[in-house]
């Protein structure tokens, strides 16, 4: 029997939505700590949300190229995961993992065969890798920003490398993505929103339901 699919809902900012995500059966919840994101959560609010999640769902704090003091501040709050979503090198990922003492999920933007070729290097130093779409040129923040990448690029990936998939996933296409790409987990943020940073509980529930049915 294959392991159950891991479902992560990212960009949660309120206790109500945290409860929705847990009730709908997600495995991981992501909190963004990045000022330029419409989903940004302050350090003060992060502590409360992580505490509210503890023992109910795995919590993951998303950081973008954080400095050591930021890593230490977030690690002290006791999340289950730190997601690195910036241009961190494998060496930096390894250093943050050692310093934080928290499991590391490294997001990797995929836009070409060269990007796919890098995945193994990062998989060796992170606890999990998350393959995301490359942001459009000129974007002021990382991530697919609602767009998916060409999943066919992943045909060249070593089948032994397990990964989570992100980037442009929605309740409508998540089943197709799981069937085609066979990730061990999926991650969604803007695909369950009605406006940037505005999550919709019905979309969250539909995404989880459709992903479970496919996974």
Enzyme catalytic residues = 10, 132
Closest of 31, 121, 47 to residue 81, by C-alpha: 31
Please answer whether residues 43 and 65 qualify as being in contact, where contact means their C-beta atoms are separated by less than 8 angstroms.
Answer: no
Computed on alpha carbons and rounded to an integer, the radius of gyration of the chain in Å comes to 16
Do residues 55 and 83 touch, judged by C-beta distance below 8 A? no
Give a three-class secondary structure readout of 106-137: EEEEECCHHHHHHHHHHHCCCCEEEEEECCCC
Is residue 166 within 8 A of residue 132, CB to CB? The reply is yes
């Amino acid at each position: 029997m294959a392991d159950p699919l891991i479902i992560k809902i990212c960009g949660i900012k309120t206790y109500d939505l945290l409860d929705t995500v847990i009730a709908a059966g997600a495995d991981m919840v992501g909190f963004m700590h990045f000022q330029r994101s419409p989903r940004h959560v302050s350090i003060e609010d992060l502590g409360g949300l992580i505490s509210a999640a503890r023992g109910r769902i795995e919590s993951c704090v998303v950081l973008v190229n954080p400095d050591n003091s930021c890593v230490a501040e977030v690690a002290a709050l006791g999340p289950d995961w730190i997601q690195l979503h910036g241009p961190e090198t494998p060496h930096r990922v390894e250093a943050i993992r050692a310093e934080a003492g928290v499991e590391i999920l490294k997001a990797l933007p995929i836009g070409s065969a060269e990007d796919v070729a890098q995945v193994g290097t990062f998989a060796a130093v992170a606890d999990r890798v998350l393959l995301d779409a490359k942001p459009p040129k000129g974007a002021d923040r990382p991530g697919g920003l609602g767009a998916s990448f060409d999943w066919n690029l992943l045909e060249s990936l070593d089948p032994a490398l397990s990964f989570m998939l992100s980037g442009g996933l929605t309740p409508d296409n998540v089943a197709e993505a799981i069937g085609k790409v066979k990730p061990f987990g999926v991650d969604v943020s803007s695909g369950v929103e009605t406006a940037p940073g505005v999550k919709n509980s019905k979309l969250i529930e539909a995404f989880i339901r459709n992903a479970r049915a496919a996974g």
